[in-house]
Structure 1
């Protein structure tokens, strides 16, 4: 069966970059400026307080995974107040060893791996539409195993560690998305996939992107009436079915043009357009420039 979530992850082309061990002991605090790109924190040992601007502070413990799709300003600290150290993640490179805060000697109260995801810039906005501002996953056995493996890989630094870390963090991302795909998630693909009926329709769309889908066909695939399906899809996924189909076709088209360097006519056929001109018009309206210009840019 086709898997829409795997499609999204493949388009994102995620990698783990700028990763550093962060540790703290005693009373300490570090204040990070806005980064604007997806950032993550994997708690390896102990616990700390995370306060993301605009959100209530949360306690993060060993085995927890936190993902910030846009990484707004936030403070990471001990549980007692302390003057913060200010860091601008855009100016401080990663991969330069452990950053220790508070008392410099002795076993730290908290150790975490903090870093940022690097995604294909043309598709990075997809993550923002899929996930809430703060994703905090805790107590999930599979995720805790991944966290342990990442910690061991980062500590041992054997040959091939960079590749292993990037793949492990990619799996963490998928696991975080799975954990977020509940009825309480924001309207979007993840919430749609959590709906058994809508998941059938979404899977059909992703499996046959070149098919001339109609609302009626998708409603039958979901075993719902046309009106019930349309309303349920729009409410759950956040956009009407045909608008979702158009948006996904354009995401795939951008990837085919930029990454696979296919000709515009070939891309048009791949994503379900009967003519190059009709595809070019749709692409220009959706993306803001003709596909030929986008491919050259």
Structure 2
């Protein structure tokens, strides 16, 4: 068995990986920058997505070289990396004016607007902080250290999707969070689709997708969380020795296989519990636990409380 990663993922594995991640929109921001101005952001605890609606300028992430922003450029910036957006002054010798953006995570239920400039903006972007996770804490973007940059076309309709997300947050109607997270997930899936045909090889920067053999095993856990998975069986699925599988799984996913499996099972259990259709015993069996007490113990370790039978209607109890 080879221990060398292979970055070519099957279509079916990618389908499972893309279908089952959860997106949480932490906040959306409008950014408007005039010529001769710079809009600067400090590093945040979450990655950010940026879509250039109109105009030209450039972005600098961390200490990396600047890259151009043209209409329909989409950028994902890593968590904890400062970045700035700027537009050249019409007079080359003029100084650049700087606005330090103070984004406030407490106001995730309204759109924040940052303006750098005193004339009509040259550059207009929609930006958003988000998390994309499996289970409770397995982050799809955890291993991202450099920005992802892709250019789209108006026909891809990413701009209209993100404008719709802004409208949802501004309208603050019932179901706003569900709508905005669904919209952002569409955008992220579109980005991953683009990666399959991109001239820029960046798919491996997603830690979960960087190792084909580990991704195959992880996709099997996602597709069948109630199956009787073991480290040995998962290693065989990956085509690796047990020790190599353990080491590479932790490196790619950020935790051991059994910890990851528990998180995936408890996420499924929480979703079933919220539906108020199944009894606790039925949920325990559906997520792979033969013992209700073992299920309750695992649920409390992940979610911090024990679900009561009254939280489901119990009509289908065995």
Aligned residue for 1:138?
150
Q: Deviations over 1:114-155 (max 9, x none)?
A: 2344889x967444654525542224x579824354478799
Residue 260 (structure 1) aligned with residue 265 (structure 2)? no
Q: Distance in 1 between matches of 2:157 and 2:221?
A: 31
For structure 2, the residue ranges without an aligned partner over 5 or more in a row are: 1-11, 90-94, 169-175, 312-318
Aligned residue for 1:170?
185
Helix, strand or coil: the match of 2:288? coil
Please report the RMSD computed on the Cα atoms of aligned residues, expressed in angstroms: 4.4
Instruction: Please give the TM-score of this superposition, normalised by the length of structure 1.
Output: 0.69
Aligned residues between the structures:
278
Call closer, same or farther: CA 1:29–1:241 in 2, change over 3 Å: same
Q: Deviations over 1:180-232 (max 9, x none)?
A: 99574253x2224xx1x334322322221111112332233334444444444
Call closer, same or farther: CA 1:94–1:144 in 2, change over 3 Å: farther
Helix, strand or coil: the match of 1:86? strand
Residue 48 (structure 1) aligned with residue 63 (structure 2)? no
Aligned residue for 2:209?
190
1:83 corresponds, among 77, 93, 97, to: 97
Q: Distance in 2 between matches of 1:191 and 1:99?
A: 35
Residue 28 (structure 1) aligned with residue 61 (structure 2)? no
The answer on whether the counterparts of 1:15 and 1:170 sit within 8 Å (CA) in structure 2 is: no
The answer on whether the counterparts of 1:39 and 1:71 sit within 8 Å (CA) in structure 2 is: no
Aligned residue for 2:17?
5
Aligned residue for 2:6?
none
The answer on whether the counterparts of 2:49 and 2:74 sit within 8 Å (CA) in structure 1 is: yes
Call closer, same or farther: CA 1:230–1:123 in 2, change over 3 Å: closer
Q: Distance in 2 between matches of 1:223 and 1:114?
A: 41
**Displacement of 1:176:** 3.7
Helix, strand or coil: the match of 2:205? coil
Q: Deviations over 1:59-98 (max 9, x none)?
A: 24223222346466543223465232233222778558x7
Q: Distance in 2 between matches of 1:104 and 1:233?
A: 52
The answer on whether the counterparts of 1:51 and 1:75 sit within 8 Å (CA) in structure 2 is: yes
Aligned residue for 1:202?
218
For structure 1, the residue ranges without an aligned partner over 5 or more in a row are: none
The answer on whether the counterparts of 2:39 and 2:86 sit within 8 Å (CA) in structure 1 is: yes
Instruction: Please give the TM-score of this superposition, normalised by the length of structure 2.
Output: 0.66
